[in-house]
Amino acid sequence: MRLFLVDAFSDKPFAGNPAAVCLLDNEADPAWMQSVASEMNLSETAYLRRREDGWSLRWFTPSVEVDLCGHATLASAHVLWQTGALSASETARFHTKSGLLTAERRGDWIELDFPVARTEPSEAPPALLEALGAKALYVGRNRFDYLVEVESEEAVRGLRPDFALLRTITVRGVSVTSRASTDGFDFISRFFAPGSGIDEDPVTGSAHCALTPYWAEKLGRNELHAYQASQRGGVLRLRLAGDRVKIAGRAVMVFEAELIA
């Protein structure tokens, strides 16, 4: 089977968020998929299998299968176009645990169509703000994550979370965000998911299903530019369209290999 490494939400290698993409010949055992993901030790390994009306797509962290992942979906679409499995004009159709997701080429950008995942205001669990070492302007939650707004970009960039304590909170992850002070961006964020086997995810497309409607309402516009301020960093173009979020990013293929185990 063919295995690819793609850096998503970046226009250059060794930045953005790396994802492994495996093209399956047949249905695979989930335990085997989890073992490969653990071996790859990336935030996500994606598995694609052709079906009559598109592609089956599943995502695994090094420790668990997840229901939604943005950067590995972007990486999967990039692989399909780069290998000729899809023509440049074709829409990538992915059947997932979060329903049908699509991706389209927009020049050298790839635009994902994901469901909105708005947060509702929530009480912060006792360990959350202590683990982040931050004061919150807002705490919200959806079925995946907590969303925490803090006072400034400097506060977001300066976070040094207690990951052991954060791991005790039973959610997929925590987005921490603020208005951006860097020119060219509307908001900035970081994403922590130690409970899912990832202390800090470099660029998290799915987290922007919550961040986009949150900031669209606060800033009064539906088109936004965002930066995820991990060590690798990543750029996202976002558009709120009713109950969908259009998440656009670029991608670079780093290597192709043959998986023989």
Catalytic residues: 44
Whole-angstrom distance, CA of residue 40 vs CA of residue 33: 11
**Residue 202 CA neighbour count, 13 Å, CB half:** 20
The tokens describing 190, both together, are 């970081």
The tokens describing 22, both together, are 């495996």
160 Cβ contact partners less than 8 Å away, ≥ 6 residues apart: 133
Say if residues 174 and 167 touch (Cβ distance below 8 Å).
no
Say if residues 254 and 12 touch (Cβ distance below 8 Å).
no
Whole-angstrom distance, CA of residue 64 vs CA of residue 37: 9
Say if residues 16 and 232 touch (Cβ distance below 8 Å).
yes
Say if residues 236 and 226 touch (Cβ distance below 8 Å).
yes
Whole-angstrom distance, CA of residue 112 vs CA of residue 106: 10
Which of 42, 11, 37 is closest to 22 using CA atoms? Answer: 37
